[in-house]
């Protein structure tokens, strides 16, 4: 019985060490200038703030992930981006499940809040408004772009059913 208690304590300590380390790293990274691979970050502050006419977004076809920050709350994460018909879009999957909504709470915050945010692409920051698109023929192009770029089978039906949420990164004030 004493051996079982000792083994239980050793296993508990061995599990506690990485849990505390990961929790500490996440806590320390919460105010960083942008996210890491594992943890969300804080406000995106470095990089030129773009001003001017809408860019030709086709360059994002060569970019795998971008940094996205909502204005409220000011936290950032890495996310996929696609271009379709001259506009840029991001997606949040698993939104029809409780765990998906918990894990992807940024999408709920963007949808229920004002949708204001900043996207940083190759060091340049663009102020945007996240506009949820949940129906319409534009979703055919977005779904095809997601499937082609990332190999993630995406369909208009899955988007319209609420399994995947799509946001257009529209210019602010449009």
User: Do residues 77 and 83 lie in contact, with contact meaning Cβ atoms separated by under 8 Å?
Assistant: no
User: Do residues 143 and 135 lie in contact, with contact meaning Cβ atoms separated by under 8 Å?
Assistant: no
Structure confidence at residue 173 (pLDDT):
80
Structure confidence at residue 27 (pLDDT):
52
Structure confidence at residue 152 (pLDDT):
86
Residue 62 has a CB neighbour count (10 Å cut-off) of 8
How do residues 98-112 score in pLDDT, each as one tens digit?
887 777 889 999 999
* Dist CA 107 CA 52 (whole Å): 27
Sequence-distant (6+) residues with CB within 8 A of 110 are: 70, 117, 130, 132, 167
Structure confidence at residue 19 (pLDDT):
55
User: Do residues 52 and 107 lie in contact, with contact meaning Cβ atoms separated by under 8 Å?
Assistant: no
How do residues 158-170 score in pLDDT, each as one tens digit?
999 999 999 999 9
List Cα–Cα distances, 11 to 6, 15, 25, in angstroms.
9, 6, 22
For residues 136, 138, 141 and 147, what is the CA-based torsion angle, rounded to 10 degrees? -60
Query: Of 135, 141, 77, 85, which is closest to residue 110 (Cα–Cα)?
Result: 77
User: Do residues 77 and 40 lie in contact, with contact meaning Cβ atoms separated by under 8 Å?
Assistant: yes
For the chain, which residues score pLDDT lower than 70? Answer: 7-12, 14-33, 36-37, 174
Structure confidence at residue 98 (pLDDT):
82
Backbone φ and ψ of 110, nearest 5°: -65, -40
């Amino acid at each position: 019985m004493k051996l079982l208690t000792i083994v239980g304590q050793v296993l508990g300590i061995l599990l506690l060490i990485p849990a505390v380390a990961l929790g500490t790293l996440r806590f320390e990274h919460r105010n960083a200038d942008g996210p890491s691979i594992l943890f969300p970050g804080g406000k995106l502050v470095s990089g030129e703030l773009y001003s001017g006419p809408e860019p030709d977004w086709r360059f994002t076809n060569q970019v795998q992930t971008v940094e996205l920050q909502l204005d409220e709350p000011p936290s950032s994460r890495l996310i996929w981006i696609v271009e379709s018909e001259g506009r840029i879009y991001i997606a949040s999957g698993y939104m029809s499940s409780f765990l998906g909504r918990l894990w992807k709470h940024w999408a709920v915050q963007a949808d229920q809040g004002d949708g204001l945010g900043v996207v940083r692409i190759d060091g340049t920051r663009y102020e945007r408004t996240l506009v949820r698109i949940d129906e319409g023929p534009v979703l055919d192009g977005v779904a095809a772009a997601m499937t082609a770029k990332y190999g993630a089978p995406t369909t208009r039906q899955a988007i319209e059913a609420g399994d995947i949420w799509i946001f257009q990164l529209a210019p602010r004030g449009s």
